[in-house]
Amino acid sequence: MIQEFTEKKAELILGGNVKIPKGFDVGVRVSRSTAGPGAGNPSVVFAFGGCRVKKAISYDDGEFDLVERDKRLSLYRGGSPFLDDVRIQPVAFHCPEQAFFNLDQRCIYHCVYCNSPFLGRDTWKDLNDDKILADIASMPGVVCAVALTSGVFGSVGETVGRMVSCIRKIRAAYPDMPVGVEPYVDDRKQIDSLREAGATEIKINCEAATSEVFSKVCPDLDYGNIFKMLAYAVEVFGKGHVASNLIYGFGEDNADVIARMEMLAKMGVAPGLRALKINPCNRRRIEDAVGTVEPNTPERVLSLAKEQKRIMAEYGIDTRTFRTMCFECTCCDIVPFRDI
């Protein structure tokens, strides 16, 4: 049964929108992310069989249909039953139980898959430290952890400085709150300053499985330096509190993904996997960079997640030591030790 739910989750992760019946009230605050794979779309979290997945919703069209009968919700695909008992789970900010903020959607860099800098002003949330504190305070007992990400605006140092300021205020108001950060860093001192301000977990993304792919999809970033930053982050934050996401689906082999995960795990870094999703906003940029790519399949998602779990277990790494960000949220990936 667990296997069946995990397979459905893999299909949902890669699939299209969920169509909501006209007039149906989702009953929870709709998330409008400015980062992550659903950036820009209204979305809600669907929970089923111990899994949860965040899906873009639409009243007009979708690959999946939400159907309500006798107060029970189910999902259909192509007119056939897909999942017969789903729940809509509330989000705090961006994801369940966490307040996850994107401090700045603008970015001086040009990663080809990233839609964040292209979102319209209507999704821009004009966040500042006081608004973030007020948002957290508005959900007492709901927000169990805080996480911060940001596009790089101005310089890397200035962007980290804004994160540091925000962490200090959160830490002063909530001494015991887990605080995760997902910055782009290019200097060890930035990692020290994030830890000293009170961050408890850090995710520094290596983004791609190979340097060849990386140079095409993140042309402005420094692949080699990211691994230096990760090694130092393990010294500062400790094993079990440092993660790195890599996106697959740019034409690399599974062997490339597995080798990169092994390299990260050997360093004490938890490898996070994210299946590339191509959408109308990023398609052209991705195809210009790497050519036409085979779309990811649910089978690939599941088999790489199993490899990810095997590698983590081999190096004594577990997603359950993380209290913030994507390992804790689980909405966009098959997460080892939580979903499988």
Select from 5, 24, 109, 223 the one that contacts ligand SF4 (CB under 6 A). Answer: 109
**Residue nearer to ligand SF4 on the CB measure, 108 or 134:** 108
Looking at the Cβ atoms of 164 and 185, the one nearer to ligand SF4 is: 185
| Of positions 156, 209, 331, 334, contacts ligand SF4 by CB under 6 A | 331
Among 10, 114, 136, 208, binds ligand SF4 (CB under 6 A): 114
Residue nearer to ligand SF4 on the CB measure, 210 or 330 = 330
Q: Does 194 bind ligand SF4 (CB under 6 A)?
A: no
C-alpha to C-alpha distance for 223 and 332, rounded to whole angstroms: 24
- With CB under 6 A as the contact rule, which of the stretches 57-65, 93-101, 173-181, 277-285 interacts with ligand SF4? 93-101
**Among 94-102, 132-140, 169-177, 186-194, the segment contacting ligand SF4 (CB under 6 A):** 94-102
Among 54, 55, 309, 323, binds ligand SF4 (CB under 6 A): 54
Applying the rule CB under 6 A, the residues between 119 and 178 that interact with ligand SF4 are 151-152
Q: Which residue number, 193 or 330, has a Cβ lying nearer to ligand SF4? A: 330
Tell which one of 18, 83, 103, 107 touches ligand SF4 (CB under 6 A): 107
Question: Is there binding between residue 217 and ligand SF4 (CB under 6 A)?
Answer: no
Residue 108 or 137: the one with the smaller Cβ distance to ligand SF4 is 108
Size of the site for ligand SF4 (CB under 6 A): 20
- Asked if 64 touches ligand SF4 (CB under 6 A), the answer is no
Tell me the three-class secondary structure of the chain, residue by residue: CHHHHHHHHHHHHHCCCEECCCCCCCCCCCEECCCCCCCCCEEEEEEECCEEEEEEEECCCCCEEEEEECCEEEEEECCEEEEEEEEEECCCEEECCEEEEECCCCCCCCCCCCCHHHCCHHHCCCCCHHHHHHHHHCCCCCCCEEEEECCCCCCHHHHHHHHHHHHHHHHHHCCCCCEEEECCCCCHHHHHHHHHHCCCEEECCCECCCHHHHHHHCCCCCHHHHHHHHHHHHHHHCCCCEEEEEEECCCCCHHHHHHHHHHHHHCCCEEEEEECCCCCCCHHHHHHHHCCCCCCCHHHHHHHHHHHHHHHHHCCCCHHHCCCHHHHHCCCCCCCCCCC
Q: Which residues bind ligand SF4 (CB under 6 A)?
A: 36, 54, 94-95, 100, 107, 109-111, 114, 116-117, 151-152, 184, 325-326, 329, 331-332
